Amino acid sequence: MFNEKEKLKEIINLGLEVAQVKDIDLLLEHILTRARRFVNADAGSIYIIEDDKLKFKYTQNDTLQKRLPSGKKLIYSTFSVPINNKSIAGYVALTGETLNMPDAYTLPEGVPYSFDKSYDRISKYRTQSMLTLPLKNNRGDIIGVLQLINAKSKDNRIIPFLKEDEPLIMHLANNAAIAIERAQMTRTIILRMIKMAELRDPQETGAHVNRVGSFAVEIYDAWATKRGIPQEQIDKNKDVLRMAAILHDVGKVAISDTILKKPGKLDNEEYEVMKHHTYLGARLFNESKSDFDEAAYIVALNHHERWDSNGYPGYINVMTGKTIPGYETADGRAKGKKGEEIPPFGRVVALADVYDALSSRRSYKDRWDEVKILETIEKERGKHFDPEMVDVFFNILDVIRSIAERYPDE
Ligand code: C2E
Ligand code: SIN
Ligand code: SIN
Ligand code: SIN
Ligand code: FE
Ligand code: FE
């Protein structure tokens, strides 16, 4: 057993590992370097929206850098700008417009924003041409601002940013926004996982959740490819699915230790309580701020539904746990979701989770041998599990086995 500190460390490492976390600072550096190279800009900055303000997060400036002794880093302070008409960055964050100005010192008559020259004065730099773009995620929400400064010609004169470069840079800004959001999300998740560390189910080891994440991604990939889902969409889904699958049982933190850690079989009443872990987990992601939140919600809620409709929690209101009116069964329960009423992420994690649970030792049961597991999965084709997903599971069994080897228990 890990002590509390080791457990925390383990979970943090896991979070970092599974998310292939790009440290947000490295990510910003990478984005700005690439954006500047596109348009040959001497300088640039990235602002990110935090707490309803625009925070200056990162900057590069070749001219100022060259004035420093080699090996020294450009020092800059972080500051906040209100999201309003006053500043150029604030205006772009507010309106989502792209501003391409040949000279920040001579703005057109009547524009609401103005350029603050004080930073130039302090740094002895002359800002001239400036291209300022919103960083929009794939939902169209503005999450920050990218500002490129002083485009240079081949002979190093400052020139305006070319109008025809704008679409390329906008495309890059969109990709950047998605990457930034992902890095922020990862950080949020890690923080959440840390909070839960002490409460977690001792069965839910790093190896187990990693395996479920990887099995789910591989099964989904094979299934979606067979279905002809576009590669781009598959890649995007794999990314969120892995983490969502890792957190499929996060609702177990709300289940009392006497049930969660019971060494023997659960009685009926205990099992009924245990079933609440589905919608209790989903509630954590109810706000659906990002694609990840949405995926995590779907997986937590639906991973114990069964293809034949005999799973749980079925048609309930996630906030109250009560059956949705009109969906009561004869014995007063909620009607289970059936077949394709269960979202694909739910169907895929159901299979990944059971496969791994059967392959693992639990405090109340031994691990099963592979023959018995595979027989069970085949037998449950079209009963517990989506038949198409069972078929692709058997097609990729070699990959599934290699994952189990990659993440052994201890
Ligand atoms: P889990 O251990 O992650 O198991 C996930 C699912 O794998 C189970 O969902 C079940 O569908 C399948 N599964 C796991 N072990 C077995 C097994 O030995 N035989 C069969 N036929 N299926 C198995 P389920 O049943 O809804 O359980 C949800 C969670 O409730 C389990 O997650 C586990 O944490 C807990 N649980 C279930 N039964 C018991 C029990 O008898 N004793 C204790 N202490 N916990 C249990
Ligand atoms: C939470 O922070 O636990 C819920 C907010 C969310 O992720 O939607
Ligand atoms: C169920 O029957 O859906 C849950 C119990 C199990 O699969 O072992
Ligand atoms: C399952 O429902 O996947 C478990 C199969 C069994 O009951 O043996
Ligand atoms: Fe579960
Ligand atoms: Fe599990």
pLDDT tens for each residue of 50-74: 989 999 988 999 999 999 887 677 7
Q: At what angle do helices 231-246 and 291-302 cross, to 10 degrees?
A: 60
Tokens of 250: 């996060």
> What is the CATH number that goes with domain 201-406?
1.10.3210.10
Per-residue pLDDT at 200 exceeds 70: no
CA 324–ligand 4 middle distance (angstroms) = 27
Lowest mean pLDDT among 242-251, 374-383, 386-395: 242-251
Q: Which residues contact 49 (CB under 8 A, 6 or more apart)?
A: 55, 83, 93, 142, 143, 144
Q: What is the pLDDT of residue 407?
A: 81
Residue 326 backbone class (left: φ over 0; alpha: ψ -120 to 50; beta: rest): left
CA 407–ligand 1 middle distance (angstroms) = 20
Q: What is the pLDDT of residue 276?
A: 95
CA 248–ligand 6 middle distance (angstroms) = 7
CA 192–ligand 2 middle distance (angstroms) = 9
Q: Are 385 and 347 in contact (CB under 8 A)?
A: yes
Q: If you take atom 4 of ligand 3, which residue's CA is the nearest one?
A: 311
Gyration radius (Cα) of the chain, Å: 26
Q: Dump the DSSP string for 246-278.
A: HTTTGGGGGS-HHHHT-SS---HHHHHHHTTHH
Query: Mean of the per-residue pLDDT values for the chain?
Result: 87
Reported as a single tens digit per residue, the pLDDT across 144-160 is 999 999 999 989 999 99
Per-residue pLDDT at 215 exceeds 60: yes
Biggest CA pair distance of the chain: 81
Q: What is the pLDDT of residue 278?
A: 96
The model's confidence at residue 343, banded by pLDDT at 50, 70 and 90, is: very high
Q: What is the pLDDT of residue 15?
A: 46
How many percent of the chain have pLDDT more than 90?
55
CA 362–ligand 1 middle distance (angstroms) = 9
Q: Is 383 in the pocket of ligand 1 (CB under 6 A)?
A: no
How many percent of the chain have pLDDT more than 70?
88
- Hey, which of 310, 374, 380, 389 would you mutate to test ligand 4's pocket, going by the most ligand atoms within 8 Å of its Cβ? 380
Q: Is 354 in the pocket of ligand 4 (CB under 6 A)?
A: yes
288 CA: nearest ligand 2 atom: 8
Q: What is the pLDDT of residue 64?
A: 93
Query: Regarding the domain delimited by 4-182, which CATH topology (the fold level of the hierarchy) does it fall under?
Result: Beta-Lactamase (3.30.450)
Q: What is the pLDDT of residue 11?
A: 47
pTM score over 0.95: no
**Amino acid letter for position 228:** G
CA 310–ligand 3 middle distance (angstroms) = 8
Q: Is 277 in the pocket of ligand 4 (CB under 6 A)?
A: no
Report the Cα 70 to chain-centroid distance in Å.
Answer: 38
CA distances to 138, 172, 182, 287, 407 from 249, rounded to whole Å, are 28, 36, 22, 18, 18
Per-residue pLDDT at 288 exceeds 70: no
Q: What is the pLDDT of residue 138?
A: 83
The model's confidence at residue 77, banded by pLDDT at 50, 70 and 90, is: confident
Q: Which residues contact 301 (CB under 8 A, 6 or more apart)?
A: 278, 279, 281, 282, 313, 318, 346
306 CA: nearest ligand 3 atom: 3
Domain boundaries defined on the chain: 4-182, 201-406
Of all ligands present, the nearest one to the C-alpha of 311 is 3
Per-residue pLDDT at 272 exceeds 60: yes
- Hey, which of 358, 372, 377 would you mutate to test ligand 1's pocket, going by the most ligand atoms within 8 Å of its Cβ? 358
CA pair distance 56, 49, nearest whole angstrom: 9
Q: Is 285 in the pocket of ligand 2 (CB under 6 A)?
A: yes
Per-residue pLDDT at 4 exceeds 90: no
Of 168 and 159, more confident: 159
